[in-house]
Amino acid sequence: MIGIAICGYGYWGPNLLRNFMRSDLFSVVGVADRREQKRAIIAKSFPELTIYNDALEAIDDPRVEAVAIATPVAAHYGIAAKALRKGKHVLVEKPFCVSVDEAEDLVSIAENSGATLMVDHTFLFHPAVHKLGEMVKAGALGSISYYDCLRVNLGLFQPDVNVLWDLAPHDLSVIDFLFNEEPIHVQANGYCHLNPQLPDIAYVTLHFPSRMVAHLNLSWMSPVKVRRTAIGGTNKMVVWDDLDRDEPIRIYDSGISIHAQEDRQVIIPGYRIGDVHAPRLPNEEPLANVARHFGRVIRKEENSLMDGKKGLRVVRILEWAQRSLDASLADIGAHYKTEQLHSRHAQVASV
């Protein structure tokens, strides 16, 4: 069995610990966290585990052959780099790291060390995504026109990343997995309601060489939690509702066709409305599949679905979207300042 340490015991760490403890490929050596309160909780609940004061201490333990990193994103690079240089296998929580430069460096270090580097994009191991992948690969949907996702909830407000970096990696990794193409243009806008430095609403539009367009509606400001994705193809359309435990995927035998130019004077679409099919999917926890896959990749029994290079592609798009978002926020801010200045002038003039 592979000795592993969990680095970080905040929101995601307990989930990682639970799944690695259940895995027959890993033996959890211990958990690292800088917070004394968290270490006390771990020691009380899991007295058999070693408690480390920080992740670097865990990496130095010769019993630890792999680490799962669930610390704040700013610490991902430093921990992963040290572990990889010591030949330890690394699973990093999303987002992979804070910049393309850091991601490129980690990929290089992993290649030089020969250790496994994998990003925990959990949805890639969801039975629904694998079903979608089968359909796309078989051409069942036809030519893909759009990927449209509504990913919103009330909180969880992250202190170190904005809503773009928190939620978009899910869809960007799924899009990369399903369609294996990088965008040719990215646009993003949004707004900061609670923290002026961290947007809590973002809208991202991506255009791809295949003429597919993807739109992501991301928010921490919604009164309800929604995780719904629609994928439209020329043959069929699919809706994936991740909160629907009974029928997470519905396949619609519906589509729109446009008559050839010589057959029409105006654009008149033809609508096809067919049956709706809800395939039965296995009831599996995606994170358990992550742990199993990580172990098999380490043992060279499988090729990684989300290695460092693919994680780099996601970070590259995040940076691109962030630049667009920053420009949009600056433009909106300038307009607000102009309006406020006009309003003050109007108030003075009326006195």
Q: Measure the CA–CA gap between 67 and 2, rounded to whole angstroms.
A: 10
Residue pair 190/199 in contact (Cβ under 8 Å)? The answer is yes
Give the per-residue pLDDT at 347. Answer: 54
Q: What is the pTM of this model?
A: 0.89
- Tens of pLDDT along 233-254? 999 999 999 999 999 999 998 7
Residue 316 CB-half CA count within 13 A: 13
Higher pLDDT, 96 or 198: 96
* Whether pLDDT at 350 is above 60: no
Q: Measure the CA–CA gap between 169 and 121, rounded to whole angstroms.
A: 7
Q: Measure the CA–CA gap between 90 and 65, rounded to whole angstroms.
A: 9
Question: Where does the pLDDT of residue 345 fall: very low under 50, low under 70, confident under 90, or very high at 90 and above?
Answer: very low
Residue matched to tokens 């069942």: 140
Residue 206, H or E segment: strand 201-207
User: Virtual CA dihedral for 294, 301, 126, 184, nearest 10 degrees?
Assistant: 90
Give the per-residue pLDDT at 262. Answer: 59
Query: Mean per-residue pLDDT for 161-170?
Result: 95
* Whether pLDDT at 268 is above 60: no
Neighbours of 109 (CB within 10 A): 20
Residue matched to tokens 């799962």: 68
The domains of the chain, with CATH numbers, are 2-120 (3.40.50.720), 124-274+315-327 (3.30.360.10)
Question: Where does the pLDDT of residue 334 fall: very low under 50, low under 70, confident under 90, or very high at 90 and above?
Answer: confident
Higher pLDDT, 335 or 125: 125
Q: Measure the CA–CA gap between 163 and 169, rounded to whole angstroms.
A: 10
